[in-house]
Amino acid sequence: MKAPDDEERATPALRVEGIVKNFVAASPENSLKDDKAGERAWELPLIGFSRGDDPLYEKLKDDIGAFYWTPAEAFGLAFPEKTVDPSELTVIAWVLPQTAATRADNRRRRKYGSERWARARFYGEVFNDRLRRHVAETLNRIGYEAVAPTLLPAWRGQMSERFGFASNWSERHGAFISGLGTFGLCDGLITPLGKAMRCGTVIARITVPPTERPYRDHHAYCLFYTRGTCGKCMKRCPAGAITERGHDKLLCGEYLAKVAAPFANRRFGINIYSCGLCQTAVPCESAIPGPLRRG
Ligand code: SF4
Ligand code: SF4
């Protein structure tokens, strides 16, 4: 009998990690599409897993509103003919860190985001969509039903009574539940590689041990909430959208629509909401800040 090869021996976790990481490392689409021969948009990702029946998904639905999807509900939209128990599902979450060059450019900005940031926001997110599709399609091909919730036609934003505008599946919350980070004063997810990043998720019928959540509190990595210090993101926001009460989504959205997007369009020819000033020149830009800092 033929001995199993490396691919066959790999655990489901390693196989999924390989699918995500290899695509980010090798795809020419991981690019800012600039004139520097396509400088890469993202560094290598962090990957985490959570169970489809993790009680935090139900709690999120209770908090945000009935329109919010649990993993099983999102999976059911993609595979309406199948029955699934939430315990059979795994949420695969990744964090795509901004490059050092993109972070450095944005760090210098005071009112508008940099060109690299705008390119990462636009072309980088086009790549992130490809990654979502690639992960879901690869898993389906090798026998694990999978869906990227944010690519479902029904994915959209709605008004939550408690939280204002919210989408029916939040990838940042999926990443939080999958052990990848906690929320900061500005609402960004602070990960071991900082909060200058974008997230992605896929839900699959596959058994992968969940990633340990090395925190109990959803603000555990933010210096403002844990030590009453910092608040640097407040000072960085040109719209005054971050205060001690947190992130005002309406003010931020208004600034992005009326100031940041027209600037990016006029200056860089990229029609995108792009700012990210609160994600750079702050202690949580590229690491967990303070005493929990790693690396
Ligand atoms: S800049 Fe400071 S206050 Fe703002 S999210 Fe980061 S650690 Fe928290
Ligand atoms: S994205 Fe820009 S406008 Fe919105 S909170 Fe951050 S700094 Fe403020």
The end-to-end CA distance of the chain, in Å, is 45
Does residue 189 contact residue 203 with C-beta atoms inside 8 Å? no
d(CA 135, CA 154): 20
Say if 244 falls within a structural domain.
yes
d(CA 47, CA 178): 8
Say if 138 falls within a structural domain.
yes
- Please work out whether the CB of residue 222 comes within 6 Å of at least one atom of ligand 1: yes
φ and ψ at residue 12, rounded to 5 degrees: -55, -40
Number of domains making up the chain: 1
φ and ψ at residue 153, rounded to 5 degrees: -60, -25
What pLDDT score does 1 carry?
53
pLDDT of residue 96 exceeding 90: yes
What pLDDT score does 34 carry?
84
Choose one of 186, 197, 274 to mutate for the ligand 2 pocket test, by most ligand atoms within 8 angstroms of C-beta: 186
Confidence of residue 295 (pLDDT cuts 50, 70, 90): very low
What pLDDT score does 294 carry?
46
Confidence of residue 160 (pLDDT cuts 50, 70, 90): confident
Q: Which of 227, 275, 270 is nearest to 247 (CA)?
A: 275
Which residues are 21's β-sheet partners? none
Ligand nearest to the CA of 237: 2
- The atom of ligand 2 lying closest to the CA of 186 is 5
Domain that holds residue 220: 6-292
pLDDT of residue 25 exceeding 80: yes
Sign of CA dihedral 128, 193, 43, 13: negative
Say if 272 falls within a structural domain.
yes
Say if 58 falls within a structural domain.
yes
Kindly report the length of the chain: 295
- Higher pLDDT: 23 or 34? It is 23
d(CA 63, CA 182): 17
What pLDDT score does 281 carry?
98
Q: Is 80 exposed, middle or buried (0-12, 13-18, 19+ CB in 10 A)?
A: exposed
Say if 1 falls within a structural domain.
no
d(CA 69, CA 289): 32
Say if 139 falls within a structural domain.
yes
Q: Which of 29, 30, 28, 6 is nearest to 18 (CA)?
A: 6
Threshold 0.75, pTM exceeds: yes
Structure tokens at 294: 């790693």
Mean pLDDT to the nearest integer, 105-125: 97
pLDDT of residue 2 exceeding 80: no
Say if 110 falls within a structural domain.
yes
pLDDT of residue 21 exceeding 90: yes
What pLDDT score does 140 carry?
97
What pLDDT score does 159 carry?
78
Question: Coil, helix or strand for 144?
Answer: coil
Structure tokens at 193: 């590689």
Q: Where are the alpha helices (DSSP H) in 90-239?
A: 100-107, 115-119, 125-141, 171-177, 223-227, 232-236
Q: Using one digit for the tens of pLDDT, what is the confidence trace for 205-262?
A: 999 999 999 999 999 999 999 999 999 999 999 999 999 999 999 999 999 999 999 9
Using the mean position of ligand 1's atoms as its centre, give its distance from the Cα of residue 195 in Å. Answer: 10
Structure tokens at 150: 């944010």
What's the chain's average pLDDT? 94
d(CA 231, CA 120): 25
Question: Could you tell me what percent of the chain has a pLDDT over 70?
Answer: 95
